[in-house]
Amino acid sequence: MRQLRFLLQKEFKQIFRNRALLPIIFVVPVIQLLVLPLAADYAIKNISISIVDHDHSSYSQQLVSKVISSGYFQLADYGNSYDVAFRQIELDESDLILEIPADFEKGLIRENHQQLFIAVNAINGTKAGLGGAYLNRIIADFNAEIRLDWQDPQRFQEFPTIEIVSSNWFNPLLNYRFFMVPGILAVLVTMVGAYMCSLNIVKEKEVGTIEQINVTPIKKHHFILGKLIPFWMIGIFIFSVGLFLVARLVYGIIPMGSLGLLYGFLSIFLIAMLGFGLLLSTYSETQQQAMSVAFFFMMIFLLMSGLFTPIESMPHWAKIIAWCNPVTYFIEVMRMIVLKGSGFADVKMQLLKTIGFAIFFNSWAIINYSKTN
């Protein structure tokens, strides 16, 4: 035990003296949490629209101002030539064309029927799809408004319409940040395990100090614990800064569920990731190697964890990778506990799997560690 104390003392001194590591521990998490959720926002805004108005009536004016005032669109061009508008799309200055035919108002009043034309620049599929959908929605709204203007409320409604009312559970304002922030917090903690811990051990290999340690009577498990405990604590520290400082103060996210459950899960997840870092370090001889391999796995961890894209819409083979990814479960549980207030029973399966990962990575690492020495 006394040896472990000396090891921990030494490790903390080195960490707090490392000018490259300190900013990573204290500054990077805050910046990532501040910048990423704002940038990784799926609500598409600022779609450029070109409106070709052949009618110039009061109804067409009403429609145009309704589109512009929705907040999603920016008027790139307003004119009466489709060719000019299409040229704008070709130049990538415009994403959408809304063509209002001549006699729009007249037709609407007399024939009770009118057609509009929307052309979409579909190079960016998401933007095109959502832009088109927003515009459809706005036009439908506009349509309902005119109906209301004309219809005698007393009269029997000729066309029955189905009105859809939805209520958004757990994130009523569909604030994308509520979805991203817990996920990014999970990623930050993953980085501590996969990068910092393995780099630290490989550095000792590279410099040669591990040899000196190996000729001392230090027990292997003490040495490993001496490495894991500091980074476990750093992981919990980073998580707490993110949760209490950034998520709460900046985004107003307060976990719905129990903090104890959240930290319990975090502790086990960290043990799994530190085991992964340890495993990487047993296979790497230089920090460069460890870094490259860790980077490769980080990419998979991030992209195949449901952080940005839902796992449900991945092809089957990708789903299998996602299910073998420990980060998947942590992100899932983070969102469940923080946004839904899920309890122990709800996250039991994820917890069991994470414990499995922790045992798997750590045993593999320890077996491999004793072999190489």
Q: Which residues contact 308 (CB under 8 A, 6 or more apart)?
A: 40, 302
**Closest CB to another protein among residues 57, 281:** 281
Which residues contact another protein (rule: CB under 8 A)?
Answer: 2-3, 5-7, 9-10, 13-14, 17-18, 207-209, 211-218, 373
Per-residue exposure over 152-183, b if at least 16 CB sit within 10 Å of its own CB, e if not = eeeeeeeeeeeeeeeeeeeeeeebebbbbbbb
Considering beta carbons, is residue 217 or 260 the nearer one to another protein? 217
The smaller minimum CB distance to another protein, of residues 207 and 349, is found at 207
Q: How far is the CB of 19 from another protein (least distance, A)?
A: 10
Closest distance to another protein from the beta carbon of 224 (Å)? 14
CB of 14 to another protein, least distance (A): 5
Q: Which residue has the tokens 């319990």?
A: 264
CB of 70 to another protein, least distance (A): 58
- Output 2 or 113, the one with its CB closest to another protein: 2
Torsion of CA 226, 369, 328, 249, to 10 degrees: 20
As given in the structure block, the two tokens for residue 96 are 């959408």
**CA-based diameter of the chain, in Å?**
96
Which residue number, 214 or 288, has a Cβ lying nearer to another protein?
214
On whether the CB atoms of residues 24 and 194 are closer than 8 A, the answer is: no
Which residue number, 2 or 316, has a Cβ lying nearer to another protein? 2
Nearer to another protein, 1 or 43 (CB): 1
**Least gap, CB of 207 to another protein (angstroms):** 7
**Total count of residues recorded for the chain:** 373
Q: Which is nearer to another protein, 81 or 209 (CB)?
A: 209
- Residue 275 CB, nearest distance to another protein (Å)? 24
**Shortest CB 214 distance to another protein, Å:** 6
Of 125 and 217, nearer to another protein (C-beta) is: 217
Least separation, in Å, of the C-beta of 291 and another protein? 19
Q: Supply the minimum distance, in Å, between the C-beta of residue 9 and another protein.
A: 7
Decide: 246 and 33 in contact? Cβ < 8 Å.
yes
